[in-house]
RNA sequence: GCGUCGGUGGUGGAGUGGUCUAUCACAACAGACUGUAAAUCUGUCGCCUUCGGGCUACGUAGGUUCGAAUCCUACCCGACGCA
């Protein structure tokens, strides 16, 4: 029996992934061989949150052109959503879509989330403990490292080898796991192989990407991104949480609090978003199965599907 | 024209006789990442290198000194002040 096909559209920010996903979904609908169409599963760690729209470049109802989208607006931005939750929901959505004889199209720029689904990453069965994290966050990285060393020598060594002794986020999670399981289990993934993933990567040459980011930023501001963020804050989203959400939420918040000027905000955002795009590439580069397309050139859809 | 202050690496900006290729920040480049991932963290960042080291740098040209980015002289450039 043939494995169901799942299309994965990933790549740098500002490369038009969402548009392409809709285009492909519609094309599948009208195509001869597969007349049932595609449905999109978003793979974006910030678009899962309700109310984060302009700042995340979330697709609008109109832009969806009737194509169903999953995993948008499913979480409260005040609470932390996690890769684990994402994985569960995405796998479920995938199965649902296939059951209805449609093609799932996973589309987004969060490589960690995509891999969790595609590779079937098995996360240790230890949910985040906010209290523990809060108390550990007060400690210095040296202290955290010592704590981990006592709990799990191997994981501590591993973290050191990867030059992550200063990475508090990672140290805290390792401690969290080691505390309940005794040690951090080795990485495992369940490549169950139930699906055939077709991975499509979108990218842009640096200079063009930079221009695109600049333009997009200005247009988002024009559309009212500052008001969106002001509003989120008015409704109880703390500045601290904004800081965590990163990029536009972080730097626009800093501007709204008068910590930086508007000029500084724009400059910082342009450069930080570009850096983010580079980081995305660093992640995706490792996956040799991705077929890459330069978006500044014309893409032949027939080549993709 | 006179006077004052200043000219440092891609940028900003420390350093004011030896430990200086020169704190730091930014930019740039590369990398990591397994329940925070738009987050978080690391490395490189004058030139050459057999990775031990070698070579050249702090406006320009001289000088003082065992030794100068640091002191002196002249010149060039910039800002300000006085004419």
Q: Give the phi and the psi of residue A121 in degrees, each rounded to 5.
A: -50, 135
Q: In this predicted structure, what is the pLDDT of residue A302?
A: 74
Q: Which nucleotide is nearest to A141 (CA to C1')?
A: B41
Q: Which nucleotide is nearest to A121 (CA to C1')?
A: B34
Tell me what ipTM this predicted complex has.
0.91
Residue A29 CB lies within 7 Å of the nucleic strand B: no
Q: In this predicted structure, what is the pLDDT of residue A34?
A: 52
The terminus-to-terminus CA distance of chain A in angstroms comes to: 20
Q: Which nucleotide is nearest to A188 (CA to C1')?
A: B34
CA of A79 to C1' of B23 (A): 41
Q: Which nucleotide is nearest to A176 (CA to C1')?
A: B35
| Angle separating helix axes A225-234 and A247-256, nearest 10 degrees | 80
State pTM to two decimals.
0.90
In order, the DSSP letters of A234-300 are HTT--HHHHHHH-HHHHHHHHHHTTSS-HHHHHHHHHHHHHHHHHHHHHHHHT-TTPEEEETTS---
CA of A179 to C1' of B57 (A): 54
Q: In this predicted structure, what is the pLDDT of residue A193?
A: 72
CA of A85 to C1' of B55 (A): 57
Strand-by-strand arrangement of the A38-42 sheet: A69-70, A38-42, A103-107, A5-11, A196-203, A291-294
Among chain A residues 98-127, those with CB within 7 Å of any atom of strand B? 109-113, 121-127
Contact in structure between A71 and A41 (CB atoms under 8 Å): yes
| Angle separating helix axes A153-161 and A141-151, nearest 10 degrees | 130
Collect all residues with Cβ–Cβ distance below 8 Å to A156 and sequence separation of at least 6: A145, A148, A149, A174
Residue A66 CB lies within 7 Å of the nucleic strand B: no
Task: List average pLDDT for each run of 10 residues in chain A, which is 305 residues long.
Answer: 89 94 86 72 97 96 94 96 95 93 94 95 89 90 91 90 90 92 80 85 93 94 95 95 94 92 90 95 94 87 73
Strand B: positions under 7 A of a protein C-beta atom: 26-43
Q: In this predicted structure, what is the pLDDT of residue A31?
A: 57
Q: Give the phi and the psi of residue A45 in degrees, each rounded to 5.
A: -70, -10
Among chain A residues 138-157, those with CB within 7 Å of any atom of strand B? none
Residue A134 CB lies within 7 Å of the nucleic strand B: no
Residue A248 is encoded by which pair of tokens? 């536009």
């Amino acid at each position: 029996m043939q494995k169901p096909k799942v299309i994965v559209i990933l790549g740098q920010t500002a490369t038009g992934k969402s548009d392409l996903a809709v285009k492909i979904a519609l094309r599948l609908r009208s195509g001869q061989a597969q007349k049932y169409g595609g449905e999109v599963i978003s793979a974006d760690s910030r678009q899962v949150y309700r109310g984060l729209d302009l700042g995340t470049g979330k697709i609008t109802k109109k832009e969806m052109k009737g194509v169903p989208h999953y995993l948008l607006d499913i979480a409260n931005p005040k609470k932390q959503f996690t890769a684990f939750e994402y994985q569960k929901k995405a796998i479920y959505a995938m199965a649902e879509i296939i059951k209805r004889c449609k093609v799932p199209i996973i589309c987004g720029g969060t490589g960690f989330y995509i891999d969790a689904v595609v590779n079937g990453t098995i996360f240790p069965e230890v949910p985040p403990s906010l209290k523990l994290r809060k108390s550990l966050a007060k400690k210095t990285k040296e202290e955290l490292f010592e704590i981990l060393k006592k709990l799990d020598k191997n994981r501590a060594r591993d973290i050191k080898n990867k030059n992550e002794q200063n990475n508090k986020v990672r140290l805290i999670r390792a401690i969290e796991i080691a505390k309940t399981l005794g040690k951090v289990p080795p990485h495992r993934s369940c490549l169950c192989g139930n699906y055939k993933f077709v991975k499509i990567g979108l990218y842009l040459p640096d200079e063009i990407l930079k221009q695109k980011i600049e333009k997009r930023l200005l247009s988002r501001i024009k559309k009212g991104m500052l008001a969106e963020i002001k509003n989120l804050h008015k409704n109880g989203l703390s500045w601290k949480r904004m800081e965590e959400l990163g990029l536009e939420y972080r730097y626009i918040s800093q501007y709204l609090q008068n910590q930086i000027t508007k000029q500084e905000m724009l400059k910082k955002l342009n450069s930080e978003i570009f850096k983010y795009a580079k980081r995305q590439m660093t992640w995706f580069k490792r996956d040799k199965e991705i077929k890459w397309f330069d978006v500044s050139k014309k893409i032949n859809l027939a080549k993709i599907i």
